[in-house]
Chain A
Amino acid sequence: MAENKPKDPKRHATYLPPLEEKESSKPFHSTPMLDQLESGPWPSFVTGLKRLAMRKEHGDMVVDLLGQLEHSYNTRLGYWKGGTVSVFGYGGGIIPRFTELMGADGKPMFPESREFHTLRVQPAPGNHYTTDMLRQLSNSWNKYGSGLIAFHGQTGNIMFIGTTTDNTQHFFDEINEYGWDLGGAGPCVRTGMSCIGSARCEQSCANEPKIHRVLVNNFLDDMHRPALPYKFKFKVSGCPNDCMNSIHRSDFAVIGTWRDDMKVDQNEVKSFVKAKGRKYVVDNVISRCPTNALSLNDDDSLDVDNRNCVRCMHCINVMTKALKPGDDKGVTVLIGGKRTLKIGDTMGTVIVPFMKLESDEDYDQLREMAENTIDFFAENALEHERTGEMIERIGLVNFLEGIGIEVDPNMINHPRESSYVRMDDWDVEAEKWKQRKAEAAG
């Protein structure tokens, strides 16, 4: 358990200055429900809010925020409504919030936090910061807002939570001058996300920060001036472990992979078997391979049937020293992942089983594919329909024709089960396949 008696109470997650040091003018509301969330070992956001409420600048705003939150805890209802707030030149990136909680006199019950907007700001790929930059962002926000920052929201933004309509512009102007830009909100290209990847991870098969910026920063007009049918998200993971959850949580997922043989250091395999024992290796590595592509030899070396390896990463995750992705690296692109509304969840679908990402031309090709996808989506999706839902409605083949990509058996789990289909042009389509095979063979 966490230390209940801090060594230095003033420098501890539970520290709250004495009331006489409170610099804000509005007294605290009674918050018995929220107070119960101040005990326990996990750092408390309630204590954090109370500390903010004691500040001279914008403290009263947080005093009233706590009042409204306590009211929500009592009534089990939320009291924010949206609206329209933006900064000059942009149509999105702000989440406006106005209180709906009015007293009998028709005035806000918690007037100091009646405007409580959030600015969504794009972090650097991989969410890297220097302490100097964190302090600088915090200082700017203390000047113009509540001081409360969420690292990070579910779309990947830094969320600066709680400011007035006027200060939205002032804060944005200040941080925009030193290199930060708003993310997406509304029916637009959204902030991207990418794993730490090549910066620290031996399993990475891609240059994640480059892919992230090549894609997202190519669509800033579509991000800052929302005009798409609905949101469009890019996410980048460096390997099939998909730490960014891109297959399910992005419309355009780029995932690093490799197409040559996995690298095996047989000496390290033997050391691993020696350290862990054969039973462990058989039970946790060999028998967990989804395609039975692994076999442990009598001399404790490892055979890999690379033709049947599906790059699931499991054995590489277990034996981090002995096994590694191959050298011929590239990416798989999956399109159409999304969550519930409206048709139910969809995972992304493989659209490009493998492409190299090394030369400028390779990156141009990826960027072009994203442009074609977004253009086709903008043109053909219904209002409030995600890319995956559009594909569900019109069929994968229509989508592929729309973005100019040929069919590939890696796009499916299995061929059609239903015989209800017209196949008048079978010979033409079969000929196309033969032609492509002949071209590929040179």
Chain B
Amino acid sequence: MADTPRHPIESGAPDAFQYMHPVFIKNFGNWAYHDRPRPGVLHHVAKSGDEVWTVRVGTQRQLGPYEINLLCDIIDKYADGYVRFTIRSNMEIMVTEESKVEPLIKAIEEAGYPIGGTGPSVTMISHTQGWLHCDIPGTDASGVVKALMDELYEEFTNERMPNRVHITTSCCQINCGGQGDVAINVQHTKPPKINHDLVANVCERPSVVARCPVAAIRPAMVNGKPSLEVDEKKCICCGACFPPCPPMQINDAEFTKLSVWVGGKHSNARSKPMFHKLVAAGIPNNPPRWPEAAEIVKKILRVYQEDAKDWERVGDWVERIGWPRFFELTELPFTKYHIDDWRGSRRTLNASTHIRF
């Protein structure tokens, strides 16, 4: 490399207006109202009287040149050449004439892409990288999502849930997928297996010790080499030590399980934002289609669909009917593991006689 290296242009986040649909630029900050003419279509009206229809398309998130050209050809031919993505990897295609909506939908559907994910539907799952690209995954992400969205396809293309349903999946306990109405997360059940021959060369031991939430890791000499040991009685199998110290392998074909959590919500609508809560665990990590996890998710969604009132998110619904009824309706076992024992957990206990019979 005799060449002088090129210095980067530190341009940061680009200006959005160069890529925005002209109707957005013209009416920026001056919209009047919106409605949904059909599932998968949003209709916004500006104070100027301008209208825009947005068609929402479900994607597999990972797109190659074939998919990009296929979809862009349709957008160029049937829409206006502008597109945006929601944070749940749905494509949004905008047109300013109502007559263009149906032909656009037809073209998208003919190309094998679903229209939906608006209003009270199950929208695309926000997910992580999994075995495709992550360095610490307990399971896959894209495969779990593909399997689940196949099962929930009709709930994406229709709006027949009480309110919007955000599902998330996460391939380790860091939970990059985030809070969800239903969250499917990895839950390790056994402490890390340590390859003591490698620790000294690979891991910065003090920072690994500091990572442990329960102070279960100590420096130790093992086989005459500096290494680390885990107090397995204290260990909560969270996997925090594994990213900075790969010889502390937390993933296991059998003992890395899946868990399901419900009631997470980011919005401030009605109730304040909520964390999701554990409802099921010990679910086998079973590629390629994870049927056991899918069954539990489908059961929860069926019960929510039948029992919740309009506009109640999963968390709102459970708050109203109470947790005992949730376990009764979903037929999920209630165990000692559902009772929180982390710091501040006393606030999660029922200190009242508010009980439903």
Contacts and interface: CB of A to CB of B under 8 A. Distances in A.
**A, B in one complex:** yes
Interface string A24-67: 00000000011011011111111011011001000000000100
B126 to A, nearest CB: 7
- Please indicate which of the listed interface residues A156, A216, A217 has the most CB atoms of chain B within 10 Å of its own CB: A217
A44 B10 CA distance: 36
The contact size tier of chain B is 35 or more
Interface in A307-332: 310-314, 317-318, 320-321, 324
Interface string B170-188: 0001111111000000000
A188 interface: no
Contacts of A73: 131, 140, 143, 287-288
Contact of B13 (A154, A191, A382): A191
B111 A13 contact: yes
Contacts of A151: 59, 61, 63, 85, 89, 91
Q: Which of B14, B251, B342 has the most CB of A within 10 A?
A: B14
Interface stretch (A130-138, A296-304, A395-403): A130-138
Contacts of B100: none
B238 interface: yes
Contacts of A69: 131-132, 140
Contacts, number: 383
B251 A77 contact: yes
Contacts of A196: 84
Contact of B133 (A36, A118, A127, A341): A118
B62 A320 contact: no
A182 B75 CA distance: 27
User: Which among B67, B69, B81 has the greatest number of chain A C-beta atoms within 10 A?
Assistant: B67
Interface in B9-44: 9-21, 24-25, 28-29, 31-35, 44
Q: For the complex, would chain A's binding face be called helix, strand, loop or mixed by DSSP majority?
A: loop
B303 to A, nearest CB: 21
Contacts of A48: 60, 62-64, 66-67
Nearest to A199: B24
A200 B44 contact: yes
Contacts of B288: 33-34, 36-37, 73
B140 A290 contact: no
A440 interface: no
B147 to A, nearest CB: 7
A42 B251 CA distance: 29
Contact of A43 (B60, B65, B285): B60
B32 to A, nearest CB: 6
A76 B19 contact: no
15 contacts: A41-B153, A130-B19, A135-B68, A142-B65, A149-B68, A199-B16, A202-B31, A245-B87, A288-B311, A339-B174, A339-B176, A340-B238, A341-B240, A383-B207, A384-B210
